[in-house]
Amino acid sequence: MNLWINNQMIEANEGQTILEAARVAGIFIPTLCDRPGYSPAGTCGVCAVEVEGEAGTVLACCTPVRENMRILVPQSGQLPGGDDLDDLL
């Protein structure tokens, strides 16, 4: 299936999460809970991304991909919605 991350079309397989599909495509999404020896828990929120048509953000580690999904990954140091991480610290 095809989907877009930051306006870049990528291919993904049914059953993959946004995070898995992004990794295969070489697109970095930060995460804490999804690493060897751990199951993605969706509790830290570090991998939050925006999905066109969804209210608020979704967690890339536990959200399955869909055909024609359009995803926006915040730039490094930015939170979904455009807030700057430094301003919150």
Q: What is the CATH number of the domain that holds 58?
A: 3.10.20.740
- How many domains, in total, are found in the chain? 1
How many residues does the structure list for the chain?
A: 89
CB atoms within 10 A of CB 77: 8
In a domain, 30, yes or no: yes
Look up residue 46 and give its two tokens.
Answer: 């570090």
14 within some domain: yes
In a domain, 86, yes or no: no
* Higher-scoring residue by pLDDT: 89, 21: 21
pLDDT tens readout for residues 14-44: 999 999 999 999 999 988 876 777 777 777 8
Element (H, E) at 87: helix 85-88
Within a domain: 88? no
pLDDT: which is higher, 67 or 83: 67
The answer to the question of residue 35 being in a domain is yes
The DSSP result for 19-75, as a single string, is HHHHHHTT-----SS-STT----S-S-TTEEEETTSSSEEETTT-B--TT-EEEPPP
